[in-house]
Amino acid sequence: MPSHAEEDEPERPDDDESRNDAESPAAGDSGGGRSAGRAKKRHQQRKQRPFWKELPILIVVALVLAFLIQQFLARVYMIPSGSMEETLHGCPGCTPDRILVDKVTYDFTDPSPGDVVVFRGPDTWLEGEAPVETSDNGFVQFLQSIGSVFGLAPPDERDFVKRIIATGGQTVQCCDDQNRVLVDGKPLDEPYIHWEGSRTQADFGPVTVPQNSVWVMGDNRNNSSDSRYQGGGGERGAVPVDNIIGKARFIVLPPSRWGTVSDHNPQQPAEATALGAPAWQQGLPLGAGLVAAWPTVLAGRRIGGAARGAVGRRR
């Protein structure tokens, strides 16, 4: 008698459906099993996403964070000359220092004597200066502008780095019989001065610094074009506080030069310097910004994960 075993045998579900049914809470809930199987499959696909697919996202996030940090917290600048030797290197033949400039501090405090600052050259400093050379190629100009935003290329404005010697309302002049600069008639304590050639400073002043301005000079005292000479000297050499971009905090490159930038107040006697605010307090605004960056990254990851999950559920 012919066998009808194959016809009598019930149909077997395929392997995927069997596994989904086995994972379901109840054997009869086949719909729930299939949903759980699809969710597990999507989860495995997300875990197995190749790195090259994630790389563009990582690059975009990194650029956005770099832009925000450079615009609002801190920015890296290259030292273009030797006017701040030996505090900052920019001499011919040496590797120029790259410094991290804190752009937050002066939102809470006023610039002080001894601060090393980066500032935009005021109009009086730029009179007769040749314009910054730029390429005629539009695409190259675009790349240069993007590079300047992220600290990868020189900025398109005339920026300077000097040390604040006197602030608005103070009277500065040079020099007393010991070759020291005077502010309001008192000699300055300037251990950071670097001498090239003659150790004698050229006389100037007295000059009363306009309100909301600062008087700046280079540490390489006899090789610095600063408030003594720019704009013809006098009040025209002072720098408006609004032109200050930020305070130089750290030398970040080259690695052999890593360290903080001295902000010794020359108007305080050496023995009284300890009465000033500790360095860690002066760095609080920048530190707070850097600490806040990590939670921002974590929150971004969680939001991104939730968004991907929502998209997956709609599918």
Which residues are identified as catalytic? Answer: 83, 162
Decide if 142 contacts 180 (C-beta within 8 A).
no
181-183: strand order across its sheet: 186-187, 181-183, 171-174, 204-208
* 201: helix, strand or coil: coil
d(CA 83, CA 145): 26
Strands (E), 191-308: 204-208, 213-217, 239-240, 244-253, 259-260
How would you label 302-311 residue by residue, b for 16+ Cβ within 10 Å and e otherwise? Answer: eeeeeeeeee
What crossing angle do the helices spanning 284-314 and 51-68 adopt, rounded to 10°? 140
Residue 136 DSSP one-character state: S
Residue 101: in which H helix or E strand, if any?
A: strand 98-102
Strands (E), 115-203: 116-120, 159-167, 171-174, 181-183, 186-187
Cβ burial, residue 171 (10 Å; 0-12/13-18/19+): middle
Residue 72 DSSP one-character state: I
Decide if 151 contacts 75 (C-beta within 8 A).
yes
d(CA 309, CA 315): 10
CB-facing half-sphere around the CA of 207: CA atoms within 13 A:
29
